[in-house]
Structure 1
Amino acid sequence: MVNVGDEAPDFTAPLANGDVDSFTLSENLDDAPLVLAFFPGAFTGVCTTEMCTFQDQLAGFEDVGATVYGVSVDSPFSLNEFREKNGLEFGLVSDFNKEIIDDYGVRMDFDDLGVYGVAKRAVFVVNADGEVTWSWVSDDPGVEPDYDAVREAAEAAE
């Protein structure tokens, strides 16, 4: 698992932003701090609540200079539909190949449901040097992050 003080694993993946573009973490460090909010799946209850809460608080993140991205294993096309249905103004990274969740150590399986290889609910704050300055990972997909703590961590990211 990626820890505070580690270099954030770089990745290139599709970005659902109303269109589908390519997103490379290391090429977007100028927009840091970056808030990478991993979530298990679009169109599910807690994930929808979480992403909508980030949207509701987006101005607060922008006020501290942070750029928010959601990250899930959903296809970029599903993520664009999810963005549109929920009025999300920030980009959603598609880890369809499940490489990012492996690199960050946040892969989760729901054996009892037969669902394998989704993201744990997790948040990483990455500074302009590409260093992880804050992280939160939950083994319980029903638990949301402390949004105030995420914003404070983004504000403190150096």
Structure 2
Amino acid sequence: MVDVGDDAPDFTVPLADGDVGSFTLSERLDETPLVLAFFPAAFTGTCTSEMNTFSDRIETFDSADANVYGVSVDTPFALNEFRRQNDLRFPLLSDTNRTLVERYGVSMDFASLGVENVAKRAVFVVDESGAVTYKWVSDDPGVEPNYEEIQTAAVDAAN
């Protein structure tokens, strides 16, 4: 699992920003700090609440020049619809190949539902050098992160 102080694993995945593009972490370090907010699945209650809360607080992240990206294993097409329906004000990253959940060590299964290898609810902040400066991971998909703590971590990573 990735820890604070580690280099963030590099990756390239589809970017859902109203269109479908490509996102490579190492090519986005000039946009740092980057807030990578992993969530299990679009269109579910707690995930929708979490992404809406990030969207509602986007000005705080903008003021720190931080860029928020939601990350799930959903397809970029589903994520674009999720963004549209919830009027999310930041892009989402599609980890359909499960590359990020494996590299960041945040994969979990819902065995009782027959669903395997989705993202745990987790947040990583990455600074301009590509280092992880903040990490929060929950084994309980019903728990949302402490948004004030993430905002503080983003501000700290920007300074």
Give the total of aligned pairs.
158
**Cα distance in structure 2, aligned partners of 1:89 and 1:110:** 29
Letter of the aligned partner of 1:96 in structure 2? T
- Measured after TM superposition, the shift of residue 126 of structure 1 is 0.1
User: In structure 1, what is the equivalent of residue 27 of structure 2?
Assistant: 27
Which structure 1 residue ranges, 4+ long, deviate > 3 Å from structure 2? none
User: In structure 2, what is the equivalent of residue 80 of structure 1?
Assistant: 80
- Measured after TM superposition, the shift of residue 89 of structure 1 is 1.6
**Cα distance in structure 1, aligned partners of 2:43 and 2:80:** 11
User: In structure 2, what is the equivalent of residue 137 of structure 1?
Assistant: 137
Task: Write the deviation string for residues 83-141 of structure 1: whole angstroms up to 9, x where unpaired.
Answer: 00000121100000001100000000011111101000000000000000000000000
Task: Write the deviation string for residues 129-156 of structure 1: whole angstroms up to 9, x where unpaired.
Answer: 0000000000000000000000000001
Aligned counterparts, 1:85-104, within 5 A: 85-104=85-104
What secondary structure does 1:50 align onto? helix
User: In structure 1, what is the equivalent of residue 57 of structure 2?
Assistant: 57
What secondary structure does 1:85 align onto? helix
What secondary structure does 1:26 align onto? helix
What secondary structure does 1:123 align onto? strand
**What is the Cα-based RMSD across aligned positions, in Å?**
0.6
User: In structure 1, what is the equivalent of residue 13 of structure 2?
Assistant: 13
Q: Normalization by structure 1: what TM-score?
A: 0.99
Q: Normalization by structure 2: what TM-score?
A: 0.98
What secondary structure does 1:53 align onto? helix
Q: Which runs of 5+ in 2 are unaligned?
A: none
Alignment pair present for 1:110 and 2:120: no
Letter of the aligned partner of 2:147 in structure 1? Y
